[in-house]
Amino acid sequence: MEVINIKGTDDTPNVILDKANGIFEISGRSLPEDVNMFYEPILDWIDQYSEDPLAETVFNFKLEYFNTASSKVILDILLKFEEIFESNKAVIIKWHYQEDEEDMLEAGEEYADIVEIPFEYVVYND
Protein backbone atom coordinates (compact mmCIF):
# COMPACT_ATOMS: atom_id res chain seq x y z
CA MET A 1 0.00 0.00 0.00
CA GLU A 2 1.12 3.50 -0.76
CA VAL A 3 2.20 5.58 2.23
CA ILE A 4 0.35 8.81 2.94
CA ASN A 5 2.67 11.38 4.47
CA ILE A 6 1.21 14.89 4.55
CA LYS A 7 3.22 17.68 6.13
CA GLY A 8 0.94 19.85 8.23
CA THR A 9 0.43 23.58 7.92
CA ASP A 10 -1.16 26.14 10.24
CA ASP A 11 -4.57 24.89 9.07
CA THR A 12 -3.99 21.23 8.21
CA PRO A 13 -2.63 18.36 10.28
CA ASN A 14 0.37 16.13 9.75
CA VAL A 15 -0.87 12.78 8.54
CA ILE A 16 1.16 9.58 8.38
CA LEU A 17 -0.51 6.38 7.24
CA ASP A 18 2.18 3.73 6.77
CA LYS A 19 0.92 0.15 6.88
CA ALA A 20 4.36 -1.41 6.30
CA ASN A 21 5.79 0.25 9.41
CA GLY A 22 2.56 0.23 11.43
CA ILE A 23 2.45 4.03 11.77
CA PHE A 24 -0.97 5.67 11.82
CA GLU A 25 -1.04 9.25 13.06
CA ILE A 26 -2.85 12.55 12.69
CA SER A 27 -1.28 15.46 14.57
CA GLY A 28 -1.33 19.24 14.79
CA ARG A 29 -4.22 21.51 13.88
CA SER A 30 -7.14 20.53 11.67
CA LEU A 31 -9.15 23.37 10.21
CA PRO A 32 -8.73 22.95 6.46
CA GLU A 33 -10.66 25.30 4.23
CA ASP A 34 -12.19 22.34 2.36
CA VAL A 35 -12.34 19.53 4.89
CA ASN A 36 -13.78 17.02 2.41
CA MET A 37 -11.09 17.63 -0.17
CA PHE A 38 -8.33 17.36 2.46
CA TYR A 39 -9.60 14.17 4.11
CA GLU A 40 -10.95 12.32 1.05
CA PRO A 41 -7.65 10.58 0.18
CA ILE A 42 -7.20 9.69 3.86
CA LEU A 43 -10.65 8.11 4.09
CA ASP A 44 -10.05 6.29 0.79
CA TRP A 45 -6.74 4.96 2.13
CA ILE A 46 -8.44 3.70 5.30
CA ASP A 47 -11.12 1.99 3.19
CA GLN A 48 -8.39 0.22 1.25
CA TYR A 49 -6.51 -0.63 4.46
CA SER A 50 -9.65 -2.10 6.01
CA GLU A 51 -9.73 -4.78 3.30
CA ASP A 52 -6.48 -6.25 4.70
CA PRO A 53 -5.59 -4.64 8.04
CA LEU A 54 -2.70 -5.56 10.27
CA ALA A 55 -3.42 -7.90 13.19
CA GLU A 56 -3.07 -4.85 15.46
CA THR A 57 -3.56 -1.22 14.52
CA VAL A 58 -2.53 1.58 16.90
CA PHE A 59 -3.84 4.93 15.66
CA ASN A 60 -2.42 8.07 17.27
CA PHE A 61 -4.42 11.27 17.40
CA LYS A 62 -2.18 14.14 18.55
CA LEU A 63 -4.41 17.06 17.69
CA GLU A 64 -3.92 20.45 19.29
CA TYR A 65 -7.11 21.86 17.80
CA PHE A 66 -9.80 20.88 15.31
CA ASN A 67 -12.86 22.66 13.98
CA THR A 68 -16.42 21.37 13.77
CA ALA A 69 -16.07 20.16 10.18
CA SER A 70 -12.95 18.21 11.15
CA SER A 71 -14.71 16.67 14.15
CA LYS A 72 -17.20 14.98 11.80
CA VAL A 73 -14.39 13.52 9.69
CA ILE A 74 -12.55 12.32 12.80
CA LEU A 75 -15.71 10.46 13.75
CA ASP A 76 -15.86 8.98 10.22
CA ILE A 77 -12.27 7.78 10.63
CA LEU A 78 -13.06 6.24 14.01
CA LEU A 79 -16.15 4.50 12.63
CA LYS A 80 -14.01 2.93 9.89
CA PHE A 81 -11.60 1.61 12.54
CA GLU A 82 -14.56 0.36 14.58
CA GLU A 83 -15.49 -1.83 11.59
CA ILE A 84 -11.94 -3.20 11.54
CA PHE A 85 -12.15 -3.85 15.30
CA GLU A 86 -15.48 -5.65 14.82
CA SER A 87 -13.81 -7.95 12.28
CA ASN A 88 -11.72 -9.37 15.15
CA LYS A 89 -8.61 -7.28 14.54
CA ALA A 90 -6.99 -5.41 17.42
CA VAL A 91 -7.44 -1.64 17.20
CA ILE A 92 -6.26 0.84 19.82
CA ILE A 93 -6.83 4.58 19.61
CA LYS A 94 -4.18 6.59 21.44
CA TRP A 95 -5.66 10.01 22.12
CA HIS A 96 -2.83 12.41 22.99
CA TYR A 97 -3.57 15.70 24.74
CA GLN A 98 -1.66 18.35 26.62
CA GLU A 99 -2.12 18.20 30.37
CA ASP A 100 -3.75 21.66 30.49
CA GLU A 101 -6.06 20.98 27.50
CA GLU A 102 -9.17 19.60 29.18
CA ASP A 103 -11.23 20.27 26.03
CA MET A 104 -9.10 17.89 23.99
CA LEU A 105 -9.36 15.17 26.64
CA GLU A 106 -13.14 15.62 26.73
CA ALA A 107 -13.31 15.39 22.93
CA GLY A 108 -11.49 12.05 23.09
CA GLU A 109 -13.82 10.82 25.82
CA GLU A 110 -16.85 11.79 23.73
CA TYR A 111 -15.51 9.85 20.74
CA ALA A 112 -14.80 6.86 23.00
CA ASP A 113 -18.45 6.91 24.10
CA ILE A 114 -19.62 6.74 20.46
CA VAL A 115 -17.37 4.03 19.03
CA GLU A 116 -16.65 0.58 20.41
CA ILE A 117 -12.85 0.72 20.23
CA PRO A 118 -10.37 0.73 23.12
CA PHE A 119 -9.06 4.26 23.79
CA GLU A 120 -5.88 5.11 25.66
CA TYR A 121 -5.29 8.67 26.83
CA VAL A 122 -1.73 9.94 26.66
CA VAL A 123 -0.63 13.18 28.31
CA TYR A 124 2.23 15.03 26.64
CA ASN A 125 4.04 18.31 27.12
CA ASP A 126 5.56 20.42 24.36
Residue 103 resides in a domain: yes
pTM: 0.96
For residue 97, the cross-strand partners are 123
By residue range, what is the domain housing residue 96? 79-116
Residue 56 resides in a domain: no
Residue 14 resides in a domain: no
Work out the average pLDDT over 49-60.
97
Residue 107 resides in a domain: yes
CA distance 125 to 79: 28
pLDDT of residue 58: 98
pLDDT tens column, 1-47: 999 999 999 999 999 999 999 999 999 999 999 999 999 999 999 99
CA distance 47 to 119: 21
For residue 59, the cross-strand partners are 24, 93
Categorize the per-residue pLDDT at 111 as very low, low, confident or very high, splitting at 50, 70 and 90: very high
Start-to-end CA distance of the chain, whole Å, equals 32
pLDDT of residue 106: 97
| H helix or E strand, kind and range, residue 42 | helix 35-50
Residue 46 resides in a domain: no
Residue 11 resides in a domain: no
pLDDT above 90 (res 126)? no
| H helix or E strand, kind and range, residue 98 | strand 90-98
pLDDT tens column, 59-99: 999 999 999 999 999 999 999 999 999 999 999 999 999 99
pLDDT of residue 125: 80
Number of domains the chain is built from: 1
Residue 101 resides in a domain: yes
Work out the average pLDDT over 97-102.
93
